[in-house]
């Protein structure tokens, strides 16, 4: 996960986005983060920004 802009990422690539409520949102470009990353709503994830 190294992109922050859906327009510059490949289809299927995971993204970290800044949501409208100030939360970090996880997404998959042209897909589903829930199924693509095999996580469910409310799952605890760890993001490491490098």
Question: What are 1-50's pLDDT values in tens digits?
Answer: 444 566 778 888 888 888 888 888 888 888 998 998 898 888 888 888 77
CA separation for the pair 30, 12 (Å, rounded):
6
Contact (Cβ atoms closer than 8 angstroms) between residue 6 and residue 27: yes
Q: Assign 41 to helix, strand or coil.
A: coil
Fold topology of 1-50: Elongation Factor Tu (Ef-tu); domain 3 (2.40.30)
- Per-residue model confidence (pLDDT) at position 2: 45
- Per-residue model confidence (pLDDT) at position 6: 64
- Per-residue model confidence (pLDDT) at position 4: 56
């Amino acid at each position: 996960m190294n992109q922050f802009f859906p327009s510059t990422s490949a289809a299927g690539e995971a993204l970290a986005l800044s949501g409208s409520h100030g939360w970090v949102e996880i997404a998959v470009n042209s897909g589903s983060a829930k199924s693509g990353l095999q996580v469910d709503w409310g799952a605890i994830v760890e993001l490491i920004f490098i």
